[in-house]
Amino acid sequence: MRPLPSPLGETTSHSTRLQTTAVKSLVIPQAGEGTIALSPFWGESWREGVFRDSLTCEQPRMKSSWMLVAGLLFGGMGVFVKLGAPYFSHVELVFYRSLFGLLLVYGIMRQQRIGVATQHWRAHLWRGISGSVALALFFYCITVLPLATAVTLNYTAPLFLTILTMLVFKEKFHLPLTIAIGLGFCGVVLLLQPTLQQDQLLSGLLGLISGFLAGVAYLNVRHLAVIGEPDTRTVFYFSLIATLGSGVWMLFDTVHAITPQSFAILLGLGSSATLAQLAMTRAYRTGRTLVVGSLAYSTIVFASLFGMLLWDEILNLGSWLGMAFIIASGVLSLRLSPKH
């Protein structure tokens, strides 16, 4: 899929802006999340507009490198999920993560004067449900699988998105794209092989399902962009549905008390995920699209390093090879997928 290009000027025609919005929706964030459309002032006070348009003040040497910052922060989010597992269930972690994001996005919408009301509630509902379940499964897999394995399985979403897009638009699977997709699923088999030996096959399959559902969520995000929904409103309804869904689940499960130590973990979880979204959005606004899309897979590298340093998670050669296949497949799919 083609990632988000640099934004066009204010003189851009309506039809061109609509096409740009459609492409913007193909950004691959974590487990069904979306990008946040930032206000035009970056670095000023909140009331004056907190995020200045990066095209006017971004230093050339950063640009695409913001995706490395996002990858590091997304890897950090996985660390906080794993650290929070002894204190909270994965559903509670989804709730606190989503609530943090909901409040932030609502504040951005207020600052941008974007209303909450929408005529496309069905599309938001499907996007919210698929993205929320994907996020819950992703967080669960982080708590039971090696961090790098869980993150990599979730990053199969671009492969599923490519397949779903080809099917929806009735495109033919040409040979190079078929090989790229096949390479990715060969990587999945290699990555899941160790879980068979550790009786973790179910967890591995749930991780793969999280990638599929994230792909479904991104397809819905794309549809919402095409029909003209602002990015912030799309992220708002996703966060709202995830918060409400996980909150209802918590009513029928044990709710753990928040201690000073666990609060620090929740703060780190919400902060890292939110800052990662902001860095990712800036990367896709200022950097070269294919470079940024490829650098998105740096999250897997950072997750692997965090897993080795913090939990002594040592992966075998087959797992590393599988991760390499999935990354290569995702990058190739970015280049070979049709533009819609």
Backbone region of residue 228 per phi and psi (left: phi > 0; alpha: psi in -120 to 50; beta: other values): left
- Helix and strand numbers, DSSP H then E, in the chain: 14, 2
Cα-Cα-Cα-Cα dihedral sign, residues 165, 30, 72, 301:
negative
The torsion of the CA quartet 222, 232, 246, 103, rounded to 10 degrees, works out to: 170
The number of beta carbons lying within 10 Å of the beta carbon of residue 50 is 18
Q: Does any domain span residue 7?
A: no
- Please report whether residue 6 resides in a domain: no
The sign of the CA dihedral 144, 77, 267, 218 is negative
Could you give the CA distance from residue 148 to residue 172 in angstroms, rounded to a whole number? 33
Q: Does this model's pTM top 0.85? A: no
d(CA 286, CA 55): 6
Q: What percent of the chain has pLDDT over 70?
A: 79
Report the distance separating Cα 23 and Cα 231, nearest Å.
12
Give how many domains the chain has, as a whole number. 1
- Per the model's pLDDT, the better-predicted residue between 251 and 5 turns out to be 251
pLDDT band of residue 209 (cuts 50, 70, 90) is very high
CA–CA gap between residue 97 and residue 102 (Å, rounded): 9
Query: Per-residue pLDDT tens for 291-332?
Result: 888 888 999 999 999 999 999 998 888 889 999 999 999 888
d(CA 65, CA 294): 11
Give residue 327's pLDDT.
Answer: 93
Identity of the residue numbered 269: L
Mean pLDDT of 212-230: 88
Q: Say if 80 falls within a structural domain.
A: yes
137 touches 203 (CB < 8 A): no
CA-CA distance, 102 to 25, in Å (whole number)? Answer: 19
3-state secondary structure of 75: helix
- The verdict on residue 9 lying in a domain is no
Domain carrying residue 131: 14-53+62-336
Residue 299 counted as domain residue: yes
Residue 67, C-beta contacts closer than 8 angstroms, at least 6 positions apart: 279, 280, 283, 284, 287, 291, 292, 295, 296, 298
Q: Please, what is the end-to-end C-alpha distance for the chain in angstroms? A: 9
308-319 tens-digit pLDDT: 999 999 888 888
284 has pLDDT over 80:
no
Mapped onto helix, strand or coil, the DSSP state of residue 41 is strand
The winner for highest mean pLDDT among 92-96, 177-181, 185-189 is 92-96
Check: CB of residue 225 under 8 Å from CB of residue 231. Answer: yes
Per the domain annotation, does 1 fall within a domain? no
